[in-house]
Every structure is written in structure tokens, then in C-alpha cells.
Amino acid sequence: MRCPRPGCAGTIDDTGFCDTCFRALPPTPTPTPSPVADPAPEPVAAPESAETFDVAGLVPLPVLITPDPTSRLMDGTELLTSRRRCGRNGCTGEIGGNYAGQEAVLEGVCDECGHPYSLKPRLKSGDLVAGQYDVVGPLAQSGFGWVYLARDRHLDDNYVVLKGLINANDSRAAEMAVRERQFLTRLNHPNIVRIYNAVTHHDEGTRETTGYIVMEYVDGPSLDDLRRDARLHEDARLPLEHLLGMGHEILAALGYLHGQGLLYCDMKPSNVMRGSNRITVIDLGGMTEIAAADRSTVGTVPYQAPKEELRTRGATVKSDVHTVGRTLEKMYADAGRGAGVPTVAAESFDRLIRRAVDPDHPHRFASATEMSEQLLGVLRELLSLRDGTEHAAASMLFAPTVEVIDGGLGTVPPLERWTARGLPPPVAAPPPGRSVALGLPIPRTDPHDPGARFLGGGARHDPRDLIARLRDGGEHSAELWLRGCRAHLELGDTEPAERCLTAAEKILRDTPGAWRLEWYGGLLAFARDDVDAAAGLFAAVRDFWPGEAAPKLALGLCAERTGGAEELFRAVWARDRSYTSAAFGLARLRLRAGDRAGAAGILDEVPLVSPHRDAARIAAVRAYAEPLPAAPAADDVAEAERRLPALRLGGGAADGETRRRLVALLRESSPGTDPARLELSYRELATQARTARDHEILVDLANRVRPRTLLTWWR
């Protein structure tokens, strides 16, 4: 019989073993009664204390009460199911691992080169390494060697970890061990395992000398342990905010490594420890220098960047980003999905992962820092939606805006409300497209652009000055062309705005700043009332920057006309109370549903320090007083009247034109208003008329509601 082992051409002889690879023929399975399922193993995560430590500066994680380290020891006979590379004299044969369901072989002969191998631990309990480290026992296996627990005689018998080689003959593994030692001596970061020493130990039995790296002992489970526990125990599932916080710490570690000119290359859940009071990246044996990275870097297939990318580009910062994305994706799928995550936040997380692992290399996050900034945005969004507490932070991409998109609700009705022909526009209607285009934030100026010095970080400029600057030689500045596009929108000229956008595209196409074209394209589309086109462009920006609030606000304003705006407005407003336009959007939605108190309640949330606080208070009064088209109830008008004296109108004057217009609105709305008082309001409005026609209209209104007396009846 031919040997069933892949790649082997041997024959199974009468003894039941292959005459070439010496493997036994796998036994034929026989049906057996289904055994009672063993209970799931107990979670490895340690119990939690009442104390916490912060990750990402936002999420408190419980401090773990970790068990005695000796409880984690292995007996030395365990072996991972995956096979290992021989490595002797460059041999690429595989050794160890299981085969056809049989037990893994800890010692044997390499099928390729014929040399013997041993995968057993080289150190045992009681061994003394370098005259300083008392070996307690094997603790774990890394990709290239055993990891041992030991006590440091020179440091009060504190626990340390000795990391050595499984196979000292493997020249590649030896090289990587030396590399890890060299790299670790240069590193100092709270989220990276610390190295204390590098020592050697001579084995009298094998007469071989093996090198060991002495590292700190990191207590607690790995993320892989947490993932496994969550799959087996429902109560061990990780809240998404915990996972995002851990992701931030991982990215902080990798960002530090990148700043040191190093790539990590092998990020995966088993290489991150959820310590008692910190998150620690371990096992740095796969690291390489960015300048020397090639196509043979170490990694784990489910987490690595696409093979074709590694073959053509080698390892890069973006391939490290890919591994973090896959790590978070795997953890969420196995340990956190479905744990009551608000829809918008879940979608933002999905978009974060999609960009991190995008097979299109240029489209992926450019750095660990860039991904971390977007991750923090998603985390703040999630926390705000979860607990209702604002978690604001200044955007690195979008400049603050002084505009508010209120649809006119936040201003006192103009005199045209009474003098214009036809009915006034409904206060709950979506705002006009041009006001949206001019009210949305704009991207911060690229400091490397030739026009950056003139534009500043996001300062306002007279639109005609910007356009003149373009004529005076600013044609090589993409930022000037983009801001020129918006300047033409301010002047109401969409055709020259489009030409500016086209000019900017010639400079920014296929560059990291190309997303700006989509943003300004969305503004242009909105100014033309092409909401569908605007939504598509803003959606592309949201996909590129999933942690930003501005694209969600823009999409909410698009969805306000088609449906689905509530969740987007809520996500923006809950996270950052400086986006007052989102509050007005929510208020309009409430008014359209007839919920006057709900609209006023949202507007009351606008902070006292907001420049739009007065507009929000005016809007709350109008929310109670305006027809929707149903007339307000007496209680609604009473609430509006109660709020009216607190409004700061006309510079704070007790009387004035704006206050008189609001009073007229309230008297119109109240079903119990004395006609004489309403007549007085109309006559007061008539004094504000700027034309004879407007004056005549307002006087006619006053005469129409004038109470009928005996004199007027006789006439």
C-alpha cells in the first residue's frame, strides 16, 4: 500500500509502517457511541478586582487578580499541531506536528535531510542558567522556541521569562533570536515587553550551548485566550469598547516601533497579553528593520497582508497595519460581535477594519498613528451612544466651522413671513442645499501645499480674495483650487466652482489627499440640490475616515430628505456638542413627527458656551409656537411664552424689532389671544416695514383682526 502522507512515495509494509518516512498507517476509524460532551474548560481569564486601569485614555479595564505563575506551567510534552521547519543547514523540511490524527512526534528524524531533531524543552525545573536564573518549568511555546518561567536570584527571586530555541540547528531561528535581542535592547515602551538580559546555557547532556533572552514575566491571559474563552462562555464576551481600547494600545506599540525604524510583522491575538494592569505586545522575534525589509519576513498567514503584496512589495508599515486589522476583526468575530453595539458604531467599526485590511495597498491606512486616530473616533462614538456622555476631541482632518445649518429655525422670523405672498416655508423642512454646502466643515489645509501659508489651518477668507489669489499664480496649489471652489459656491456660481474642482483633481488624483476631491464634490452637488450625488461622495469620505464626525453629519443632511437621518444625527450630536447642526437636524425630525417638547429638549442640550446657544433657544421657542402644520396647543404656546423673556434679542434690549416679531408669532399661535393684542402686534410690525406695500399689508392684517365695536358695526 502506498503511504498516504502528502509528498511521500514510500510503501506501507507488513509492519504497518512506511519504509520511507517511517510513519504508521493511520488506523481505520470504527463507529463508537457518541460520548457525553465534556464540559467547556474554565475561562483562563483571571478574576477581576474593583480597581481599574485606563486604555486609550477612555476605557477603564478591571485590574486582573492573576493566579500564581506556576499554575500556567506545561509538562513539556505538549506540541502545537502545526509542523515546524527543520532549518539545519538551510533544510526546508518539516518536523514535528501531528499526522493523520496521530500524536505529534517530539523527537525523530527530518524526512528531508535525515538529521535527528528534538522538540523537547532543553531546560527543566531546577536548572540554573547563567548562575542567576532558577528554572521553574516550561511556560509556553513561541514560533521558534520554548519559553520558560524562572526566578531571578539577583532580584529577590522575582519571576522572569527565558526565551530560547527549540532547535539550535536552525540557523534562521538563531538569527531571529539574535535580532530580537538586539531590537529589544533599543526599545522602551509601556506596551512592549521589556528585556532584562541575554545569556547562554551549556547543556551537559547534548553538549550544546543555547542562547536565551531574559524578559519580564507578563501575567494574565493573551488575547487568543480571551478569544477562546468568549467562544466557549457567553459571559466572557468582550465589549467592543474594550477591544477598541486594546487595539489602541497595540497601535501605540506598533507606531512606536515604526518610529524606531522597525516593523513588527507578526501581529496576532496570541502575541498580545491582557496583563493585570496593561496591554503588552510580546514575541518580537519576527521584527525587521524597515530599511532592510524583504519578501521573506515572518508572519502568520490568516493575519498577514496578501501574498502578492508581500511578494512584490515586501513588508511595509501598511502590512503591519493589515495584521492589526485582522487581529481586531478576528477578536470581534469570535469574542465581541452581537454584544449590543449601536448600529452606527458597529458600522463604523466594520469600515475601520475594511480599510485596515483593504487589499488595495494605497487605500489602506498609511500608518499605525493614522489608524489609531480613526479607531479613537469610533471608540468615542461608541461610548457616547452607549452612555449618553459627550466624548469630543478636535478633528485632525476637518477644521471647526462657525456656521450652523438650522434651516432658518434658529432665527427670529423675518418680516417677510407676514408680507410675502403665499405661505411661509415650514420650519421643519430640510435646509436648502446651498446653506448645507456652505455650513458643512471643510478639510484642514494640507501644510505641505504651496498655498498653505496663505490659507492657514482653516481661517475664513473673503471669497473674492481667494479667487483673485488663484488668478495671481496659485494654480499649482490644490488647496487654493479647492477653497476657490467653495468661494464660488459662496457667490452662488456653481460652474466656475466645478472648474476649480477639476483643476484640483489634476494635482490630487492618485495621492493620499484625493479624498478632499470627494468632499468638495459633495459640497458642489449639494449646492446644485443633487442630493443623491452628494450622498455618494460623502459616503466615500466616511468609508475612508470612519472615525470622523463631519462625513456622518453630511450624510445625515442627505438622509434627512430620504430617510435614515436620525441615527446619523444622534451619533454626531451624542459624541460632540460642537456640531450644533446635528442638534438642529434632530430637532427638525422631532418637529416633523409632531414632537414639540422633544425638539425643544434637543435644542436645550446646546451648551451655554456654544456660539449657537442663542439660536438654539430661539428655535426652542419657535418649536412650541409654529404650525407644523397643526396649530400648537394652548400648553405649547404657554411654554413658548415662558421661555420668551430669557431670550437675548436685539442686543439684550427689553424691547425691539426681533422681540416684537416673536411676540406676534406667539399671539398668532395662541387660540386664546385677545384680538386687540394681536392687532397691536401687527401695527407694531407695520412700523418695521421698509416699503409702502409691506406697510399696507401689515395694516390690513391689523384691521382684519381688529375687534368689532358698535362704531365699526354702524359704519
Catalytic residues: 266
Cβ–Cβ contacts within 10 Å for residue 60, how many?
A: 13
Q: What's the rounded Cα separation, in Å, for the pair 280 and 205?
A: 36
Output the CA–CA distances (angstroms, integers) from residue 59 to 212, 239, 388, in the order listed. Answer: 36, 11, 15
Q: What's the rounded Cα separation, in Å, for the pair 301 and 259?
A: 25
Alpha-carbon 650 to chain mean position: 44
Please report how the helices 580-592 and 565-575 are oriented relative to each other, as an axis angle in degrees rounded to 10: 140
Q: Cell 421657542 sits at which residue?
A: 621
Q: Of 540, 549, 536, whose CA–CA distance to 514 is shortest?
A: 540
Element (H, E) at 79: none
Q: What's the rounded Cα separation, in Å, for the pair 711 and 715?
A: 6
Q: What's the rounded Cα separation, in Å, for the pair 665 and 648?
A: 17
Dihedral of CA atoms 590, 593, 596, 600 in degrees, nearest 10, equals 0
Q: Cell 433657544 sits at which residue?
A: 617
Buried b (16+ CB within 10 A) or exposed e, 288-301: bebeebeeebbbbe
Q: Of 409, 406, 405, whose CA–CA distance to 626 is shortest?
A: 409
| 524 half-sphere exposure, CB direction, 13 A CA radius | 24
Q: Taking the alpha carbons of 211, 217, 220, 223 in that order, is the dihedral positive or negative?
A: negative
| Strand, coil or helix: 280 | strand
Q: Say which amino acid occupies 62.
A: P
Q: Of 181, 206, 176, whose CA–CA distance to 194 is shortest?
A: 181
Q: What's the rounded Cα separation, in Å, for the pair 331 and 328?
A: 5
Which residues lie closer than 8 Å to 145 by C-beta, 6 or more apart?
A: 163, 164, 165, 166, 173, 177
Alpha-carbon 64 to chain mean position: 26
| Strand, coil or helix: 610 | coil
Q: What's the rounded Cα separation, in Å, for the pair 21 and 3?
A: 9
